[in-house]
Structure 1
């Protein structure tokens, strides 16, 4: 059995790179991995096996408008929905603990919406995305 550390990481330990550039204007990030599963039934009232199907990966990031504008500038035909990129998510603790890095491969944004209201000091843009795979603890 491998060594296990119960180290808890904080937002201050996080570093996110999109398309090879560390993003300063990020306020929220999340992703999920799902797999279709069902019980294989045969003789009797209990299942015999759990079968597995397709895996799906999705997430979302909330970025400052300036970060979104930089992504649009780099996108094919200035269309952020045509942009394909990897997200590298690293936890780098100041106390010398282990660095943990997840790589989300071939990400593409599925939609975006820009909005502001009176009194806002900064525009945040939520970008939902899908991706092909997650490489944990790289």
Structure 2
């Protein structure tokens, strides 16, 4: 019989996100996806015999204040945000004393960015689609 486990729920207030050597205050959204190519290996009969696995891909997005984007551009090679490579450290620390969980997204790069504002906006938010090489869970 499988062992039991205790699950823990986390909220936005429980997370800290760091990259560029500091915890980022001006972040409003983060998400990532891990994908792997998978197919059914077929042979004799009508049912599959095995699931084969191929390449893994990782992507996501972060939504930041403009001031955070400007800081990233200042640190980027030739002030080119698309040339910047960085790790994202995403930690969940619940206020109730539960276990801290940290995911590390390694070698992140921005795929594209778009700046814009409209009348009445009080802050510019910039969504950055990212790709990265690996996710290290529960570090």
Q: Shorter-chain-normalised TM-score: which range? A: over 0.9
- The TM-score with structure 2 as length reference comes to 0.96
Give the secondary structure class of the aligned counterpart of 2:63: strand
- The TM-score with structure 1 as length reference comes to 0.97
**1:104-138 C-alpha deviation (Å, 9 max, x unpaired):** 00000000000100110100000000000000000
Specify every segment of 5 or more residues in structure 1 that has no aligned partner in the other structure, as ranges: none
Specify every segment of 5 or more residues in structure 2 that has no aligned partner in the other structure, as ranges: none
| Matched residue, 1:135 | 136
Give the secondary structure class of the aligned counterpart of 2:94: coil
| Matched residue, 2:46 | 45
Aligned positions, number: 138
The separation in 2 between residues aligned to 1:23 and 1:5, in whole angstroms, is 30
**1:34-89 C-alpha deviation (Å, 9 max, x unpaired):** 00000000111110000000000000000000000000000000000000000000
Which of structure 1's runs of 4+ aligned residues deviate more than 6 A? none
The separation in 2 between residues aligned to 1:86 and 1:5, in whole angstroms, is 29
Give the secondary structure class of the aligned counterpart of 1:129: strand
